[in-house]
């Protein structure tokens, strides 16, 4: 597929000590594309996400965002983190700040918005994720699904070029998974560029442009969901799918 590349990884290698966790990884994510990353535990999915917003440095190869190499430190790095938002399994909200403050803070500090303007934008985003009436609560007063939607609103408040999700629904009770997936589905439809590590195969089938299957630090398959789910090529993918689709 001809795409306008937003995120590009070329021959990326990453080690933890002797452990080679990303092995010659090549991946292009086009603007507006949704790429779902799946694979067995320890295959490098989180490390891949963390490398894209430079929470993890790499040892060789290159990663570019919008044609620019990732900045290494300082202000430029903080800028990158706001341009490539990340949503984690564990929400990571500031516990001693209200929901509204959680979403406003980065806008004021990093994006240099005035507080009332930032608050207005925060309320807009809360409305969008279905939490308009929760602005003054603290994170602990919300359900997991609500907290995760706040985390998504907080990432969106920075007007990111792309969003990375690392198992955003894995810590949630089953009845809360859908409310988060629906917000993500909506973002996908609106054209947000997204890299999503998830075991939610329904989401992969309905929202992803491509499925990337990783095993042992390598990208083993990179195909449309339709192709991947109906005729996986590699034994690793076949084996993985037979295990997860049994549940
Ligand atoms: N900070 C670290 N120090 C040392 N080794 C690490 C570190 N983080 C991850 N690893 C190792 O790197 C490999 C890849 O880990 P990673 O977390 O990227 O896998 P994953 O595919 O996200 O797995 P899971 O599905 O369990 O989340 C694993 O072998 C892991 O133990
Ligand atoms: Mg992981």
**pLDDT at residue 171 greater than cutoff 70:** yes
pLDDT at 235: 95
Name the residue with tokens 């202000």: 75
**pLDDT at residue 98 greater than cutoff 80:** yes
pLDDT at 245: 74
Instruction: Tell me the pLDDT band of 247, cut-offs 50, 70 and 90.
Output: low
**pLDDT at residue 2 greater than cutoff 60:** no
For residues 227 and 205, what is the distance between their CA atoms, to the nearest angstrom? 10
Q: How much of the chain exceeds pLDDT 70, in percent?
A: 98
For residues 6 and 173, what is the distance between their CA atoms, to the nearest angstrom? 33
Instruction: Tell me the pLDDT band of 117, cut-offs 50, 70 and 90.
Output: very high
Q: Which of 182, 224, 222 is nearest to 200 (CA)?
A: 182
**pLDDT at residue 24 greater than cutoff 70:** yes
What are the phi and psi torsion angles at 84 (to 5°)? Answer: -120, 90
**pLDDT at residue 91 greater than cutoff 90:** no
Output the pTM of the full model: 0.95
Q: How many CB atoms lie within 10 A of CB 202?
A: 12
- CA–CA–CA angle 83, 69, 221 (5° rounding): 85
**pLDDT at residue 72 greater than cutoff 90:** no
Q: How much of the chain exceeds pLDDT 90, in percent?
A: 85
Q: What is the mean pLDDT of the chain?
A: 94
Span from the CA of 211 to the centroid of ligand 2 (angstroms): 16
Element (DSSP H or E) covering residue 189: helix 174-189
pLDDT, mean of residues 203-221: 96
* Low-confidence winner among 72-81, 101-110, 113-122 (lowest mean pLDDT): 72-81
DSSP β-bridge partners for residue 34: 194
* Cβ(81) – ligand 1 distance below 6 Å: no
DSSP single-letter state for residue 134: G
- Pairing type for strands 218-223 and 210-215 reads antiparallel
pLDDT at 134: 97
* Cβ(21) – ligand 1 distance below 6 Å: yes
Ligand 1 pocket: which of 17, 44, 213, 220 to mutate (most atoms <8 Å of CB)?
44
Contact 26, 219 (CB under 8 A): yes
Residue ID of nearest Cα to ligand 1 atom 1:
16
Contact 179, 145 (CB under 8 A): yes
**Full DSSP string of 87-109:** E-TT----TTS-HHHHHHHHHHH
- CA–CA–CA angle 105, 106, 111 (5° rounding): 125
């Amino acid at each position: 597929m001809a795409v306008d590349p937003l995120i590009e990884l070329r021959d990326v290698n990453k080690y933890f000590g002797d452990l080679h966790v990303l092995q010659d990884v090549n991946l292009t994510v086009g603007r507006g594309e949704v790429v779902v990353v799946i694979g067995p535990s320890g295959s490098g999915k989180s490390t891949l996400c963390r490398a894209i917003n430079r929470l993890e440095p790499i040892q060789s190869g290159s990663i570019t965002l919008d044609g620019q190499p990732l900045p290494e430190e300082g202000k430029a790095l903080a800028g990158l983190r706001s341009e490539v938002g990340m949503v984690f399994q564990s929400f990571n909200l500031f516990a001693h700040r209200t929901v509204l403050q959680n979403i406003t803070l980065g806008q004021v500090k990093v994006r240099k918005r005035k507080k009332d303007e930032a608050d207005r934008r925060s309320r807009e985003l809360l409305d969008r994720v279905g939490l308009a009436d929760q602005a003054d609560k603290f994170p602990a007063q919300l359900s997991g699904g609500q907290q995760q939607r706040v985390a998504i609103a907080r990432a969106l408040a920075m007007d990111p070029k792309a969003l990375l999700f690392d198992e955003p629904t894995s810590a949630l009770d089953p009845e809360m998974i859908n409310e988060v997936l629906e917000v993500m589905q909506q973002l996908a439809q609106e054209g947000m560029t997204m890299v999503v590590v998830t075991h939610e195969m329904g989401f992969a089938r309905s929202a992803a442009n491509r499925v990337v299957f990783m095993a042992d630090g390598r990208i083993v398959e990179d195909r449309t969901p339709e192709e991947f789910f109906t005729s996986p090529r590699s034994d690793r993918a076949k084996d993985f799918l037979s295990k997860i689709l049994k549940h």
